[in-house]
Every structure is written in C-alpha cells, then in structure tokens.
Amino acid sequence: MKGRIILIKEVIVVEGRDDITAVKRAVDAEVLAVGGFGINKSVIDKIKEAQKRQGVIILTDPDFAGDKIRSIITKRVSGVKHAYISQAEGLKDGDIGVENASPETIRRAIKKAKCEIKEKVNTFTMADMMNYGLVGDTKSSIKRDKLGKELGIGYANSSTFLSRLNNFGITRDEFLDALIKIGN
C-alpha cells in the first residue's frame, strides 16, 4: 500500500481546505471540509447524506478543536468511522494539523478506520453535465444548486459536482428523477 493511491468508498470529513489537499495526496476519495467550529445545518445534512450513501470517515486535527468538531459530527450523524493521526504525526513548525501529515500517515489512519476500497465508478461524465445544462450555460450554477439540494450533495463547481455525483453513488434514475423535480 505504501505510496499507492487507493480509492476509498467512504466520504472523508476534514476541517479545512488544506486538509482536503493533504488527504487527496494520500488517497482518491470524496472529501468534505466542515470549515471549523461553525458546522451549520447544510454541512451536517451533506455529511448525513454521505453517511447514508457511502459511509463517512472523520479525520480531524489531533487537538482540542479537532476533537470538538469530531464530537459535534458524531452526535448528529450516527455510524461514522473515525481515523486518527497523532500530534507528532501532524506537527510541523509548531502547527498541528492533518495538513502536515505525510500521505503514508493519512493512508494508515484511514486504513485503521476500516475503510472500504472500491473500484472507480464514472456513471456520470462532463458530457452529462453539458447535456443537462449543469455546465456551459449562464444558469448552470443555479441548476447545480437546486439539483445538489434535491440529491443531498450540496452546491459545488462543475468538476466537484461531477465528482460528488459519482462518489456519492447517485444512480442515473435518481439523477433523472431529481432533474424532473427541480423542473428541468
């Protein structure tokens, strides 16, 4: 497993953007950032949807704030898995965080959380995004917003939205039904 990028079934929940970058260097997975203590209903709803569809692994910083965020999510979303790095593994220049951990450390933590390895699924393509007006149109972002709410995957730019469609296990039928519901 050393040095090899593996595809993780579960959605990995981290604190911020730098953590997303670190996790994506280590594994191929859908990664959601909560943005710190201010975890709002929208973020919790996305995590609940991810848990329902693919499962969730929480990987927060090994500090007080990380533990608090982990606790908030665990109370609101049942059945999540937990990945941990030690403070020593996340320490760099006096700063502690997932963003400082090596790819191997992150892979090991996720593996210990009993992650599921999956095959790459590309049910949806950028051509689908274009055909259904989710990209390349002046109203594409509005449509992605409505569709993201309907599917429970939230708003995202076109490439992230496409990734979520594939990584959250959205079926073609669910997608088409949601398009009808939002008035496509």
Q: How are beta strands 31-33 and 11-14 bridged, if at all?
A: parallel
At 85, is the secondary structure helix, strand, or coil? coil
Return the amino acid letter for 160.
T
Tell me the backbone φ, ψ of residue 12, rounded to 5 degrees: -100, 125
Q: Which residues contact 183 (CB under 8 A, 6 or more apart)?
A: none
pLDDT tens track for 4-22: 578 899 999 999 999 999 9
> What is the H or E stretch that residue 14 is in?
strand 11-14
Instruction: Name the pLDDT band for 35 (thresholds 50, 70, 90).
Output: confident
pLDDT of 172 > 70? The answer is yes
Indicate the domain borders of the chain.
11-112, 126-181
Q: Where does the chain have alpha helices with state H? A: 17-26, 41-53, 64-76, 103-112, 126-131, 140-151, 158-167, 172-181
Return the amino acid letter for 122.
N
Does the pTM exceed 0.85? no
Mean pLDDT of the chain: 92
Name the packing angle between helices 140-151 and 172-181 (round to 10°): 110
Token duo for residue 173: 């039928």
Structure confidence at residue 114 (pLDDT)? 95
Order of strands across the sheet that contains 81-82: 31-33, 11-14, 56-58, 81-82
Structure confidence at residue 145 (pLDDT)? 96
Q: Contact 32/112 with Cβ under 8 angstroms?
A: no
CATH number for the segment(s) 11-112: 3.40.1360.10
Q: Contact 152/46 with Cβ under 8 angstroms?
A: yes
